[in-house]
Amino acid sequence: MATYSFLDVDASINGPGGAFSLTGCNSAEGITITYDDDKTATTTGADGCIMHSLRGTMTGSMTFNLLKISYLNSLLSSLYNYQRRSSAYWGYNVISVRDHARGDWYSLTTAAFVKFPDNSYAQDGNILAWTFRGYLTEVLGAGLRDYQETCGPRA
């Protein structure tokens, strides 16, 4: 049997003006990691042959979806306001996301806030989405050993 839990995931940010965990009690409704560009471009010649071009792009984004009541909104708001004061502070965040149970690891370096999150006040509390963009690297782990032995690839 294989299981997943967000409790196995932790994330942190380190940049000018602060360093703190991005996971914990009422911290996240999830983390979305997205690459900006395709890694390949395919060109088809007049004769039907194709050519692949490997692109060097590694830019991507991480979005942290936080409950309105999360204390992390205050920490990120302070960090955003500190960093936007000068280009000397902008784009120097390092963000790490790890899933310890599966061995997954993502790193976003030279990361900058995309914008201050949209907000609304209504009958029900909302989610604030904090998005960062930078240089994205990844490693997907081997997963849980029990799952590999029972459901993984066969030799």
| Distance separating alpha carbons of residues 71 and 4, to the nearest angstrom | 25
Q: How far is CA 4 from CA 53, 139, 143, 144, in A?
A: 36, 17, 10, 10
Residue 125: per-residue pLDDT: 87
Q: Within 10 A of 15 (CB to CB), how many other CB atoms are there?
A: 20
Return the bridge partners of 12, or none.
Answer: 21, 96
| Distance separating alpha carbons of residues 141 and 38, to the nearest angstrom | 22
Query: Which of 10-19, 34-43, 124-133, 137-146 comes out lowest in average pLDDT?
Result: 137-146
CA angle at 145 for the pair 99 and 100, rounded to the nearest 5°: 15
Nearest CA to 31 among 15, 14, 9?
9
Residue 151 has pLDDT above 90, yes or no: no
Q: What is the pLDDT of residues 37-85, one digit of tens each?
A: 988 999 999 999 999 999 988 999 999 999 999 999 999 999 999 999 9
**In whole angstroms, what separates CA 110 from the centre of its chain?**
13
Residue 152: per-residue pLDDT: 53
Per the prediction, the chain carries an average pLDDT of 89
